[in-house]
Amino acid sequence: MYTTEMSKNPARPAAPSEAPELVAAFEARVANDEFIEPKDWMPEAYRKTLVRQISQHAHSEVVGMLPEGNWISRAPSLRRKAVLLAKVQDEGGHGLYLYSAAETLGTSRDQMIEALHTGKAKYSTIFNYPTLTWADIGAIGWLVDGAAIMNQVPLQRTSYGPYARAMVRVCKEESFHQRQGFEITMKLAAGTPEQKAMAQDALNRWWWPSIMMFGPPDDNSPNTAQSVRWRIKRETNDELRQKFVDVTVPQAEAIGLTVPDPDLKWNEERGHYDYGAIDWDEFWAVVKGEGPVAKERVKARIDAWEKGAWVREAALAHAAKQASRRQKEAANG
């Protein structure tokens, strides 16, 4: 298990072009818990790691709109529809804050979108599973947003300022999302036997993919050691996964549902739940693009991008017109 102390991880040698005194000053600032800001000097590998993680995080928010968007027209009441619409819109907003944070690192929105569309950039595995019933909307809010908050709360103290500040707002909204999902599940679990069975079936299908969301185990996570050292990640994949299991199991019990893991057991000595073996072959297959609805998700994003071209062109033409009007007005005194 990795620790959050920089001293416990070996230093990555500076790239040849990077002056050792700059690297040392950067590392001292990180160790001192100062935020690194866009105009500050930073090692190229730190910048690249951030672009990778933040852009993938942004893509996850935007692709994450699809499984839930699929149920907006079929929500069971006007109230549920309005809430779901607002939630999905929030996710789009999270994508925008995150793309903007990544742009401060010198990458463009177009480059990031291109990487998503061509499969060079990843997005969370969780969104490659289908939403089959209304109960899945409850499970996504409760489990997927619940897992997302667990991961994102520590990211509010990530070392890169724009990412940390984006996370503050995202976390506030995610906690509302988690509660709306839990409320849907709680209502179904207390409903007719058919409704309760729907809620249990959704938990059965979403539990394992949700705990995979935290990423590979620490001893098989190539990026964790360096990211923890740079304080991009403040906790490791396994530490966050354990916290999520510990918080979520009692919630399932409280509403009379069963977590689909026969090996799940409270371990008095550790003060944590022990859980069964995760199917990492399934995880890596989904990471590679073999998830049940992976192709459909990427196609939906590409279609939206192509169909939205006229909007982007119109916005650019409008901005150019405004700029030339302002120039003329300035020239005329």
**Residue 60: its H or E element:** helix 44-63
Tokens found for residue 54 = 């933040």
| Shortest distance in whole angstroms from residue 101 CB to ligand BYC | 12
| Shortest distance in whole angstroms from residue 215 CB to ligand BYC | 3
Q: What is the DSSP string of 140-202?
A: IIIIIIHHHHHHHHHHTT-SBHHHHHHHHHHHHHHHHHHHHHHHHHHHHHTS-HHHHHHHHHH
| Shortest distance in whole angstroms from residue 282 CB to ligand BYC | 12
The reply on whether position 216 binds ligand BYC by CB under 6 A is yes
Q: What is the 3-state secondary structure (H, E, C) of 285-304?
A: HHHHHHCCCHHHHHHHHHHH
% helix / strand / coil in the chain, to the nearest 5?
70, 0, 30
CB nearer to ligand BYC: pick between 59 and 261: 59
CB nearer to ligand BYC: pick between 89 and 322: 89
The reply on whether position 234 binds ligand BYC by CB under 6 A is no
The reply on whether position 64 binds ligand BYC by CB under 6 A is yes
The reply on whether position 148 binds ligand BYC by CB under 6 A is yes
The reply on whether position 179 binds ligand BYC by CB under 6 A is no
AA letter at 198: M
| Shortest distance in whole angstroms from residue 197 CB to ligand BYC | 24
Binding range to ligand BYC, per CB under 6 A, among 144-152, 193-201, 261-269, 313-321: 144-152
Burial per residue of 229-257, b for 16 or more beta-carbon CB atoms within 10 angstroms, e otherwise? bbbbbbbbbbbbbbbbbeebbebbeebeb
Q: Rule CB under 6 A: which residues touch ligand BYC?
A: 52-53, 56-57, 60-61, 64, 91, 122, 124-125, 140, 144-145, 148, 151, 213-216, 221-224, 227, 233, 237, 287
